Amino acid sequence: MRLLDHLNYINIVAKTGSIRQAADRLHITSTALNRRILALEDELGCPIFERLPHGVRLNVAGELLIQHIRRNMADLSKVTSQIADLTGMRRGHITIASNSEVIAGFLPQEIAQYRKNYPHVSFDVLRRSPDQALQALQNFEADIAFIFAPIPPQAFQSLASIELAVQIGLHPDHPLAQKQHLTLMDCQEYPAIMPAEGSGLFDLLQAAQNKRGIRFQPIISSESFEFISHYQSFEEVISFLVPIGDDSRLVDSTRMIKRPLAESDQILGRLHIVQNKGRVLPVAAAKFGEEVVTRLSKIYPDSIS
């Protein structure tokens, strides 16, 4: 597997953009790592990195090579997972790319449940915008992505799609907390913490404002659920959430409660669980995807497709 080790070195240098940082992650010296890169470049007959004042970046040849490396690493992950599955000991590594709402509320429970059954499987969870998550799939940096935004059908395969309604997050002492259903007119009366621009939720809220001719009062933009829930203890603000599954353990009721929008003002979006079209996932990742879709089918029997 020494060749694969060398390919992984190149992959990590490309991700970090720094030989020193990559060497720290690989637990080798930067001199040794640089020597291996130079040896590979000598074997290829051309450089693959541009040396910059504060790091390195792939050149055109390097971009071609990294795609080959990542495809081969993904194929190896699939094969080793299948071999391990033959022994009855499901092993493997799963990389998931997702937006902050899914990472904060839904994935912890799903991963914990999966690892109870298959404790030898490990995970990487990458927080990414929808565009970044799709790019991670294409670059073989992620196996599965959870995306709260439209997806281009030509390059990606949807494992499941669930329609979800936006809800409003409030501190229990907020004046609107006494209402069981809120309107968008209610929401525009108070300062708002908005999701980060580029997220699927941000796009939904922009479309809703334009359609209904209203304007929220954004004072802060954040993609951190933890920051939002804490901030609401200090100022009478509203926030926008997309609850997925049973996230009751995530929400501290002393800092945040959730209220649905009135039916006439509902804002609906779709959560897509996707992979690269045509890619055969490693056994561990495929099994995880199946279990998540099965669980969501039970929670949302009328809105999953």
100 and 114 fall within a common domain: yes
Per the prediction, the chain carries an average pLDDT of: 84
The full DSSP string for 241-292 is E---S--TTTS-TTT-EEEEBPGGG--EEEEEEEEETT----HHHHHHHHHH
- Counting the structural domains of the chain, the total is 3
Q: What is the pLDDT of residues 230-287, one digit of tens each?
A: 888 899 999 998 888 765 555 555 678 889 999 889 999 888 999 988 888 888 888 8
Domain boundary (20, 47, 63) is at 63
Strand order from edge to edge, sheet including 238-241? 217-221, 191-194, 238-241, 167-170, 257-260
- Band (pLDDT 50/70/90 cuts) for residue 1 is very low
259 and 281 fall within a common domain: no
What range does the domain containing 154 cover? 89-159+273-299
Kindly state the percentage of the chain with pLDDT values over 70.
Answer: 90
- Tokens standing for 45? 């007959």
**SS3 state at 30:** helix
106 and 48 fall within a common domain: no
pLDDT at 61 over 60: yes
In a domain, 8, yes or no: yes
Residues contacting 230, CB < 8 A, separation 6+: 255
Angle between helices 283-299 and 60-86 (to 10 degrees): 80
In a domain, 291, yes or no: yes
Q: What is the pLDDT of residues 115-129, one digit of tens each?
A: 998 898 899 999 888
pTM over 0.85: no
CATH for 116: 3.40.190.10
What's the rounded Cα separation, in Å, for the pair 159 and 144? 9
In a domain, 205, yes or no: yes
Q: CA angle, 194 as apex, 188 and 138 as ends, to 5°?
A: 140
